[in-house]
Chains A and B, each alone.
Chain A
């Protein structure tokens, strides 16, 4: 037998996920729904932030959410208090959501009846960065209690996100949060990133972020420029 030889194959390992994500993005566009995904560490306040988001958008927009969780349905139960349609994706041992899970979860939903769809990923700042879910916008959350240098510790996920949300601002003083240092860390790993600083508990800063979302929806639905 001769020496082994090398043949070029060039196969994207995540191709299957990317193909589904592209198809989802196309469906979202056709239905006119703006899709926002949320990533963060466990405990950064994603669920409370999402609950507040759904509750405040609800009177003006048709909103719904998908939530990824390893084992429990607690988050979906909490979010159901907002009265928005909420569906749980229990990932079992899987540490992230994949496009196929989103596709399955949406199978019996009519996307044309929605303005905003939120997808809460599993609490994890590492694995979700590799998987496109077809979302229009990825939000990365960090709470003031996590430290100003969180973006420097997880540059890949911050770099992959479009917008940063700094949560639990009501605790800023107690933890002596250095806002300038946090902003510098975010800008260092993701130059030009839009940042919102808010408190989902008190509602401070929510209005600015919600008007930003509303503008995104309007822009998405505006006829494309020729």
Chain B
């Protein structure tokens, strides 16, 4: 069970990014690959513990599960694996170790409250706003 130390790493990363923008974080979006070695439920539980007594207390951790995607040479295509028990192209059955996605353990985005953000912090950072993702209510 190493999810608590992972959760503390997430909190540290989020606090650093938030501090740089002098913003309050209401949610942290995490990309979690199926091959990251991290168990989602244990991580969600650990996140609450890791947030205690920090400015992130009460924030949500929103996990996007990333499946394992391999490249299949005969098909010339990226394919999502159906199961971690079988590293074969789900279409043609060729074994492959060319893993293109699925190892992610990445704080992808933060939901921050605009009112709490200082104006000078904007523009100083070349941050890209994520337009296509919807902010969950």
Contact = CB atoms under 8 A, between A and B. Distances in A.
Q: Looking at chain B's contact residues, is the secondary structure mostly helix, strand, loop, or mixed? A: mixed
A188 B86 contact: yes
A10 B37 contact: no
Given A13-B13, A94-B5, A159-B84, A130 B135 contact: no
26 contacts: A1-B114, A1-B115, A5-B129, A6-B111, A6-B130, A6-B135, A7-B110, A8-B108, A9-B13, A9-B109, A10-B106, A10-B107, A11-B107, A13-B6, A13-B9, A13-B13, A13-B30, A14-B6, A95-B1, A96-B2, A130-B38, A155-B85, A156-B35, A159-B35, A160-B35, A189-B86
A94 B6 CA distance: 12
A130 B29 CA distance: 20
A5 B135 contact: yes
B87 A189 contact: yes
B95 interface: yes
Interface residues of A, number: 34
B8 to A, nearest CB: 10
Interface string B1-24: 110011001100110010001000
A152 interface: yes
B119 interface: no
B127 A7 contact: yes
Interface string B108-137: 111111111000000000011110010100
A9 B14 CA distance: 9
B85 A14 contact: no
B27 interface: yes
Interface in A123-181: 126-127, 129-130, 152, 155-157, 159-160
Contacts of B21: 7
A12 B106 contact: yes
B77 interface: no
Contacts of B29: 6
Contacts of A129: 37
Given A5-B111, A11-B17, A156 B85 contact: no
B85 A4 contact: no
